[in-house]
Structure 1
């Protein structure tokens, strides 16, 4: 499942049951008819994220159904999709920063990993960053690097999986 879709599901968990309902036109129409217009919009967006070669998404839908923070959220997940799920934007030059965005600096990133059972400190994060073993920062302000909490979570889960597979050998 794409990160952008996971982000949608944090606000609309009921849509998870409908992610595969787009396999036939009749089923997708039936599913959409049971949802409110905002939910329909985000489900259509998730369908596109999960299968962009077969699904399409019309931006007019955003214009007609969303406003304020929901429109901002939709634009954020579209940005997340193109930057992190497709890697079509290789050299990121923009970032959405909103009140609900949670960014961690290098020390906070290390603390986050340590709080979740990994042996990390600021210098280890710095070393791993230089070696390219950490994900690139989501935001750089005045030479200070910041990572979205979602980026930190993904890295943590990857490290835990590696640790578990090493322990099972």
Structure 2
């Protein structure tokens, strides 16, 4: 699989049974209508000049997260796995779809407050910690015009570490 296209790798990560079906051609592996959309998509990605892909499958069978995932994978295929998109300064994928993966100070604080009961973590605190480089919060993943942004996964990791830190501090205080 090391030579697989990035778009196919992402589909296989989310739907390993589709990879198993394609690699083994096992007729015992039953696919749902949603699975069949991604199965056909992989077949198309592997041989786009020989195997057609009907967008009606997406319209008929996918909703919500699966629908958005299919769109992202199609964009990824054309932008990164082919040479059909190359004379573009900033791609649609970069400009629109990736914005949802980054959060600013306000959303960072809301994610923390929602995940850790009783914790007050104001955007102004995040700004202060970030400006002072106190190591209290993670480094920003992206800085645009002096404004920090973090990947959602970075914030999630911070939340887990903060929960651990709080639990260790609670245990330490019980021991005193």
Please, what TM-score do these two structures have when normalized by structure 1? 0.51
Gaps of 5+ in 2: 104-141, 152-176
- Rounded to whole Å, the distance in 2 between the matches of 1:17 and 1:37 is 17
**4+ residue runs over 6 A deviation:** none
- Rounded to whole Å, the distance in 2 between the matches of 1:47 and 1:18 is 12
Number of residue pairs matched by the alignment:
103
CA distance 1:87–1:35, shift in 2 (3 Å)? same
- Rounded to whole Å, the distance in 2 between the matches of 1:143 and 1:43 is 43
- Rounded to whole Å, the distance in 2 between the matches of 1:40 and 1:52 is 17
Find the structure with the greater CA-based Rg.
2
- Rounded to whole Å, the distance in 2 between the matches of 1:40 and 1:71 is 13
1:73 aligns with 2:72: no
Partner of 1:10: 13
Residue 18 of structure 1 and its aligned partner are, at CA, apart by: 2.6
Partner of 2:50: 54
Tell me whether 11-20 or 78-87 shows the greater mean CA deviation: 11-20
Q: Which residue, 69, 82, 86 being the options, matches 1:86?
A: 82
Please, what TM-score do these two structures have when normalized by structure 2? 0.49
Residues 23-72 of structure 1 deviation map (CA, whole Å, 9 limit, x = unaligned): xxxx79x57x8211111111000111111111110000000000111100
- Rounded to whole Å, the distance in 2 between the matches of 1:45 and 1:143 is 41
Gaps of 5+ in 1: 22-26, 104-138, 149-169
